A and B are shown apart, each in its own frame.
Chain A
C-alpha cells in the first residue's frame, strides 16, 4: 500500500512569488485535504477536495487555491506569497470524505518565504 507522498520536501520562495505544492494520495483514497502548520502550532485546515471538487474550506484567503485530478492527486497553489505563509504544508488523504475517517498524512512540504 503506497502512502501519501508530497513534493517537494523543502522550498524557498521570495515574497510576492507563486508556489505549487503536490500530493499523491494513498492508494484507494479519493479525498485529499491540505493543512498549514506554522512552527510550534497545530495544523490548520485549508481545504478539502472530494471527486475533484472543493467540498470545504478553512479561513484562508482566495490566493490559496487547489486542484484535484482524476487520479485523486492534488495541488495546492499559493499566489502573492507573504512572509507569514512560511510553514509546513501537510497533505492528507482518506476515503469517502467521512467525518470519522482517519486522515493519512504525508511528510509535508516545508515552505520558507523570504
Chain B
C-alpha cells in the first residue's frame, strides 16, 4: 500500500527565512509519480510540481526547489526567501503507475510566514 508522511504539521517562520517541508513516501512500485500541491485558504489545490520516480534530478523554479532522494524515499520542498504570500497548507502526494489516476496525499504542512 502507498503512504505519504508529512511529519511537520505546522511551521511558522519570519518572512525572508528559508524553509524546508519534508515528505517521505512508501510504495512497492518501481515506477511512480510524486507531486506537491499548495492549498491557500480559498480551498483550491494548486499544482506545484511533478517528479517521475526514474528522474532524480533536483528542480528549481524561482524561489522554490525540490530535492528527490529515492534512497531515502523523500521528496522535500524548500522555499527560499519566504514571503507572506507563501502562507498556505502544502501537500505532498504519490501516484502509482498502475490502475486509476489516484493521488495518495500526506496530511499536509501548514506554513505560516510572519511579516
**Cα distance, A43 to B97, chains bound together (Å):** 19
Residues of B within 8 A of A57 (CB): 100
The answer to whether A102 and B35 touch across the interface, beta carbons within 8 angstroms, is yes
Size class of B's contact patch? 20 to 34
* A108–B47 alpha-carbon span in the complex (Å): 15
Bound Cα distance A98, B37 (Å) = 18
Chain B residue with the shortest CB-CB distance to A96: B101
B31: nearest residue on chain A (CB-CB)?
Answer: A99
**Cβ-closest chain A residue relative to B105:** A42
Instruction: Write out, one digit per residue, whether chain B residues 66-95 have a CB within 8 A of any chain A CB (1) or not (0).
Output: 000000000000000000000000010101
In the assembly, what is the distance between CA of A44 and CA of B44, in Å? 15
Q: Given A92-B45, A107-B42, is A45 in contact with B50 using a C-beta cutoff of 8 Å? A: no
Interface size on A, residues (CB 8 A): 31
From the candidates A40, A56, A90, A108, name the one contacting B99 in the complex (CB within 8 A).
A56
Residues of A within 8 A of B50 (CB): 100, 102
Contact string, B27-57, partner A, CB cutoff 8 A, digits 1/0?
0000001010100001111110010100000
Q: Are B45 and A90 in contact (CB under 8 A)?
A: yes
Task: Flag if B43 contacts A100 (CB, 8 Å).
Answer: no
**B-facing residues in A67-114 (Cβ within 8 Å):** 88, 90, 92, 94, 97-108, 110
The reply to whether B102 and A58 contact each other, CB–CB distance below 8 Å, is yes
Given contacts A42-B107, A99-B96, A100-B52, contact A56 B101 (CB under 8 A): yes
Apart from A88-B43, A94-B101, 17 more pairs, CB < 8 Å: A41-B108, A42-B4, A42-B91, A45-B104, A48-B101, A58-B102, A97-B101, A99-B96, A99-B97, A100-B95, A102-B47, A102-B50, A104-B47, A105-B45, A107-B42, A108-B43, A110-B43
Binding site for B on A (CB under 8 A): 31, 33, 35, 40-45, 48, 55-58, 88, 90, 92, 94, 97-108, 110
